[in-house]
Structure 1
Amino acid sequence: MRRNADTTFGPQPMRIGLLGFGHLGQFLCAHFERERTKPMRDFDIVFIWNRSTTIFTKYGKDLNQELIVSTVQEGLQRLPDLVVEAAHPDVIRIYGEQILDVCDLFIGSPTALAFAPLEARLRKKSMESGQVIYVANGAFCGADDIVKMSERDLVRSLTITMRKHPDSFKLSEPLRSKLIHERAKVDNDQEEIVIYSGPVRELCRLAPHNVNPMAVGAIAAEHLGFDQVQGRLIADPSLIDRHVVEIELCGPETVIGDKKKTTFHIKSVRTNPAEIGYITGTATLLSFVSSIKHAKGHTAGIHVV
């Protein structure tokens, strides 16, 4: 029996292991630690791991040093119910299968799944172990509806556009050089720059830190996937206090009246408060906590929550 399934003394908090102690990881850690003061709490954090341990030194007594582990394997020995990744796609690539041997996995960097062999290995491991893979919907609104439509083969196209201030991107080459070059060329410092437009799979490789909502869309619209879901990445200097995510979906045509065809169409715009230089908006941080609360009770496989 899983430890958090033991209800002998009432519902037990979910035992959480945390991978990554950057902006998102620190937010989650602070939230989990505040939970400890509540008589009825949802979570107990049992370990924290970061690729570089130097980040922990500046916290001193403000951080429970007993939670820090030097290796992921050491953390897994503490028998978490769920490991939350808030670090980097490479962490999923290196440790994902090991985690699924022990407990469920919550992926905060879903761009990792754009690498098709890794996605296949994780799905296979999930089915073999019975452990579940959860993906945070983050800044992507309407994922549940898209999953339902995709199950009925009703999604014909999905385009996700992300707009941020140029200084809020963390890009790999050649997109990094392209952005620098295009900014130097424009006469108007408020002019938008289209950094990328095309299939999401390649963009996840080139901008793994910036396009998690696009990866979520590709997972939700499973029959389109990373190769058919389209992504557009736009640098907009006017966005000094927010990120913008636009989601546009087209469904099947329907004949209405005298043989007139009408297409099902949805377009949503999410404006997420964020300071210049921050990759993750404030609303996304809170969304992560809600997603982790829903990371339970699913069957093996990959689920967006």
Structure 2
Amino acid sequence: MATRSSTLRIGVVGYGHLGQYLVERIIKDGAGLGLTLAFAWNRNPHKLKGLVPDHLILEDLSAFKTRVCEVIVEVCHPQIVKDFGVQFLSHAHFLVGSPSALCDPELNQQLRQAASLHGNTLYIPSGALWGGQDIQRLNDSGALTGVFVRMSKHPSCFRLTEDTLSDWTEGEGRRVLFRGSVAELCPLAPNNVNTMAAVAVAAGTLGFPGVIGEIVSDTALRDYHVVEVEVSGAHGFSVHTVRRNPAQLGAVTGSATYNSFWHSLLGELNASGQRWCHGRFLFL
């Protein structure tokens, strides 16, 4: 079980745009919030040189247990969640930035069991999802009947495991790439559909097989990503939200998601006089 400390020590796994943002915020603003950086890791450690103090660079991820920390934050790729998630939970609380990994039901169960066994918590950040906790409350009340999520982006922003977009041309307009269960969609676009995976976690009774997702390539979306969520419930209840998330061309993650992720990281700091809950699965 992660030990208590007056300062919450954070290990950041991944140093892409989001990882770099989090590391910089922790170094710059963490002291006033009771946070400090325990380590930062990247597949290419040389990328961190000169940007992260040398003593905080973890070159071999398998050596993470040599660093004292209360929370490990993954912001790189679902494969890291598969390879290290259970081990992370044996050492610290774990915030999963690639929840698309949880579409694997066996891994999902293993992570939940590890959290319970070691008295640590598995956290899922809301990311670009708007209204996630409302979906979770509707789910927990037994009134949730359906969820549909559409993510539309410029084609340069997609990272797909198949050649579905290899022939795109500027100005072609809108193209539906896939529509089906989020369970089927996650392996196709593991870096692009973490918002959908967060929906599937919040809508636990439907889960990954029951939440329907659609990804759309649209060359008109040069300045932002669009996330649409349609929720239906008992007795004719329905909600439809549309979120436009500013993003540069080629960016996998919209800029507003960075701040959302930061606040997810801070989400439990002042709750009930405790810093982090123990032995739980929690959606932030």
Q: Could you state the TM-score of these two structures normalised by the residue count of structure 2?
A: 0.93
| Alpha-carbon shift at residue 252 of structure 1 (Å) | 1.0
CA spacing shift, 1:2–1:119, aligned 2, 3 Å: closer
Q: Which of 58, 61, 76 is the aligned partner of 1:72?
A: 61
Write the mapping of 1:147-226 to structure 2, written as runs, cut at 5 A: 147-173=136-162, 177-181=163-167, 183=168, 189-226=171-208
| Alpha-carbon shift at residue 130 of structure 1 (Å) | 1.2
Please say if residues 151 and 228 of structure 2, whose CA atoms lie closer than 8 Å, have aligned partners that are also in contact: yes
SS in 2 for 1:156: strand
1:169, 1:2 → 2: CA distance?
36
Q: Which of 29, 34, 42 is the aligned partner of 2:23?
A: 29
SS in 2 for 1:179: coil
The alignment covers a number of residue pairs equal to 278
| Alpha-carbon shift at residue 299 of structure 1 (Å) | 4.4
Write the mapping of 1:93-172 to structure 2, written as runs, cut at 5 A: 93-172=82-161
| Alpha-carbon shift at residue 108 of structure 1 (Å) | 0.3
1:19, 1:299 → 2: CA distance?
21
Larger radius of gyration: 1
Please say if residues 2 and 93 of structure 2, whose CA atoms lie closer than 8 Å, have aligned partners that are also in contact: no
1:79, 1:298 → 2: CA distance?
18
1:41, 1:229 → 2: CA distance?
36
| Alpha-carbon shift at residue 51 of structure 1 (Å) | 1.8
Q: Deviations over 1:215-269 (max 9, x none)?
A: 000000000000010000001111100001000001012xxxxxxxxx1000001
| Alpha-carbon shift at residue 47 of structure 1 (Å) | 0.5
For the aligned residue pairs, the C-alpha RMSD in angstroms reads 1.6
Please say if residues 2 and 120 of structure 2, whose CA atoms lie closer than 8 Å, have aligned partners that are also in contact: no
Displaced runs of 4+ in structure 1, greater than 4 A? Answer: none
What's 2:245 paired with? 272
| Alpha-carbon shift at residue 73 of structure 1 (Å) | 3.8
| Alpha-carbon shift at residue 302 of structure 1 (Å) | 2.1
What's 1:252 paired with? 234
Q: Could you state the TM-score of these two structures normalised by the residue count of structure 1?
A: 0.87
Query: In the alignment, does 2:277 pair up with 1:298?
Result: yes
Structure 1 counterpart of 2:36, one-letter code = D
In structure 2, stretches of 5+ residues that fail to align are 269-274
SS in 2 for 1:131: coil
1:169, 1:293 → 2: CA distance?
29
Identity of aligned residues (%): 34
**44-53 or 15-24, which deviates more:** 44-53
Q: Deviations over 1:68-100 (max 9, x none)?
A: 012234332222000000111011111111111
